[in-house]
Structure 1
Amino acid sequence: MDGILPLWKPKGFTSHDCVSKARGMLKTKKIGHTGTLDPDVEGVLPLCVGKATKIVPFLMDTTKVYEAVVTLGYATDTEDASGTTVETSRLDQQPGMQDINEVLAAFTGEITQTPPMYSAVKVNGKKLYEYAREGKTVERPSRKVYISELHVTSYDASLKDGTYSFGIRAVCSKGTYIRTLCVDIGKALGFPAHMKSLIRTETGDIHKEDCFTFDAVQEAVDQNRAAELLLPLSKGLSHLPSIDVDEETRDMVKHGRVLDEPDDLEADTFTIQHGQEVAAVYQKHPTKPGYIKPVRVF
């Protein structure tokens, strides 16, 4: 069984929990997830099965789409609703939509983020959340991420107990922390804030509408049609340019051959296809100009 299982991750599960459950349901150990989602988050979590595990790093590197709710009025240590309140400032009136839109515009494009303490980023070989659970705060390396779209999707009609919430949709690069984005948006508006909720609706070319719940997966397993739920490898590599080759070249690719670089090749990394079949991911040879070499062969 080879392909991408487009799972709709439920709340209460870690990404690793989802992998473990899928391994048991599909009766295979060769499954990998394509980007960590916190337990309180639901949404698109593609699971790569069999040979598809070879494309995990490429699928992780795709654009993601999130729908979040920002709550102004208090901040938490985890930057989301599950954490302990660390700062409070009741709102007397809700901010104007023009102010919110101007702030969101300022966070569109390339921005710098500092990962939250409750995250899996490693510092000195130790995950940040491990430091946080010990009550320690360490210096964290900042990173640049890219947000191509950011806009309001919904907003409360009035204040609620001195807080104000509004929904946002963010289209962003790998590595973007939406929790941190929500906190930073709040700061720019002049209030402590946190992320009330989060849903991931797209990972690359895999959308919410493509996904299956665990109940749907179990039903397919019981009916011996689980393989029908899997998407082809090409679905997870559609963000890469593709070069179509003849059958003879496809066979050389399957054997991992270094090939002459095609004319007018602009991309550094791309797929090699024969018809609808993705045979491999190739890249320009790093030490031999004029040649291409395999990165992953399927």
Structure 2
Amino acid sequence: MVNGILPLWKPKGMTSFDCVAKCRRYFQTKKVGHTGTLDPEVEGVLPICIGQATKIVPYLTDTEKVYLGTVALGAETDTEDATGNVMAEKGVTRMPEKSEIEAVLEKNKGAITQVPPMYSAVKVHGKKLYEYARANEEVERPVREVFIHDLQLTAIDEEKNTFDIYVTCSKGTYIRTLCVDIGKQLGYPAHMLQLERIQTGSFSKKKTVTFAMIEEAATKSEQEQLLSPISEGLSHLTHQEVDEALKARIKNGQKLTITETPFLTNDPIVFTNNEEVLAIYGRHPDKPEQMKPLRVF
């Protein structure tokens, strides 16, 4: 069985599910899952988990994301990006100064709340928001808290009334919504002109592969060589190497006690043997002196 993580560079014009479907054909398995939706018009890092790696999808999805985006001042759209219909306009008579933009960006660092865009896959009452939007139905959207770890201004284009931002954020952050909110704080309707995700967890743009590279490898039956090990998708978690005796118990999914691991914490722990990922364990909800298996490989 094929197991590993494909560090895909998702092209524009494809949904994340399109990418999953294509990878199922290339790797001839149904056990394929992506780790954080990217809108069709957005390109960027989209790690695809294959085989046993699908067990870590929630853990890899939960990692920080890094984006390069462009904020366009003067118009707000119903989709909050350049693909939507203009809902509000205001002429930009004076492009905000660098210091003004940076002051607003500084205010948006840390924990912030967002209202997800109507054209998004967030579910309300079992139905996706974009389904309500397409049916012209109003629905109350949930307010969510996300975390902006870093937010920097990288360039300003006064002729086009745009500026570029670099964002490091938690999962679930809508950069489209962030762009709209930044524009409002600068006194203008705004939207996201373009976006690129350049990193997910430990997977950066320079490590990615394209569909063209996968197709070429597939002609030689070498597509498995493009996969990264499961451990790379768990690099943000604590790892502990164990001996052969403990390996057997872990592979059988047995519970462990505090005397068997020095890392008895509330955070998940990855147990390895000779760098092979054996399992992910977490604190037992009812027995604080024990750890229980969350995923066994």
1:210 aligns with 2:207: yes
The alpha carbon displacement at 1:137 in A equals: 2.3
Aligned residue for 1:39? Answer: 40
Does the Cα contact within 8 Å between 1:93 and 1:159 map onto a contact in 2?
no
CA distance in structure 2 between the partners assigned to 1:258 and 1:94 by the alignment: 61
Aligned residue for 2:72? Answer: 71
1:257 aligns with 2:258: no
Question: Residue by residue, what CA displacement relative to the aligned partner does 1:1-27 show, whole Å, maximum 9, x if unpaired?
Answer: 100001000000000000011111222
CA distance in structure 1 between the partners assigned to 2:275 and 2:265 by the alignment: 22
Identity %: 54
Letter in 1 for 2:48: L
Does the Cα contact within 8 Å between 1:256 and 1:294 map onto a contact in 2?
yes
Aligned residue for 1:184? Answer: 181
Aligned residue for 1:234? Answer: 231
Does the Cα contact within 8 Å between 2:152 and 2:167 map onto a contact in 1?
yes
Question: What is the TM-score when the length of structure 1 is the normalising length?
Answer: 0.97
Question: What is the TM-score when the length of structure 2 is the normalising length?
Answer: 0.97
Question: Residue by residue, what CA displacement relative to the aligned partner does 1:222-259 show, whole Å, maximum 9, x if unpaired?
Answer: 11211110000111101111121111111111110111
Does the Cα contact within 8 Å between 1:72 and 1:191 map onto a contact in 2?
yes
CA RMSD between the two structures: 0.9
1:57 aligns with 2:58: yes
CA distance in structure 2 between the partners assigned to 1:223 and 1:74 by the alignment: 49
- Select 2:243's aligned residue among 237, 243, 246: 246
SS in 2 for 1:55: helix
- Select 1:223's aligned residue among 210, 220, 225: 220
Aligned residue for 2:144? Answer: 143
1:25 aligns with 2:46: no
CA distance in structure 1 between the partners assigned to 2:288 and 2:87 by the alignment: 56
The list of structure 1 runs, each at least 4 consecutive aligned residues, that deviate by more than 6 angstroms after superposition, is none
Distance of aligned partners of 1:263 and 1:22 in 2 relative to their CA distance in 1, 3 Å threshold = closer
CA distance in structure 1 between the partners assigned to 2:288 and 2:264 by the alignment: 12
The alpha carbon displacement at 1:264 in A equals: 5.2
Does the Cα contact within 8 Å between 1:241 and 1:267 map onto a contact in 2?
no
Letter in 2 for 1:271: V
Task: Decide which moves more: 43-52 or 259-268.
Answer: 259-268
Task: Decide which moves more: 131-140 or 181-190.
Answer: 131-140
The alpha carbon displacement at 1:289 in A equals: 2.2
SS in 2 for 1:57: helix
Letter in 1 for 2:220: Q
Letter in 1 for 2:114: Q
Aligned residue for 2:198? Answer: 201
Aligned residues: 294
Aligned residue for 1:286? Answer: 285
CA distance in structure 2 between the partners assigned to 1:88 and 1:142 by the alignment: 25
CA distance in structure 1 between the partners assigned to 2:57 and 2:71 by the alignment: 30
Question: Residue by residue, what CA displacement relative to the aligned partner does 1:180-219 show, whole Å, maximum 9, x if unpaired?
Answer: 0000000000000000001000000111111000000111
CA distance in structure 2 between the partners assigned to 1:217 and 1:53 by the alignment: 19
The alpha carbon displacement at 1:267 in A equals: 4.2
The runs of 5 or more residues in structure 2 that have no matched partner are: none
SS in 1 for 2:103: helix
Question: Residue by residue, what CA displacement relative to the aligned partner does 1:51-103 show, whole Å, maximum 9, x if unpaired?
Answer: 00000010000000011000001000000000000000011121100000000
CA distance in structure 2 between the partners assigned to 1:20 and 1:28 by the alignment: 10
Does the Cα contact within 8 Å between 2:241 and 2:275 map onto a contact in 1?
no
1:172 aligns with 2:174: no
CA distance in structure 2 between the partners assigned to 1:264 and 1:236 by the alignment: 20
CA distance in structure 2 between the partners assigned to 1:31 and 1:6 by the alignment: 13
Aligned residue for 1:7? Answer: 8
Aligned residue for 2:123? Answer: 122
CA distance in structure 2 between the partners assigned to 1:51 and 1:111 by the alignment: 35
Aligned residue for 1:276? Answer: 275
Letter in 2 for 1:139: E
CA distance in structure 2 between the partners assigned to 1:227 and 1:25 by the alignment: 10
CA distance in structure 2 between the partners assigned to 1:239 and 1:187 by the alignment: 35
Does the Cα contact within 8 Å between 1:117 and 1:137 map onto a contact in 2?
no
CA distance in structure 2 between the partners assigned to 1:210 and 1:28 by the alignment: 23
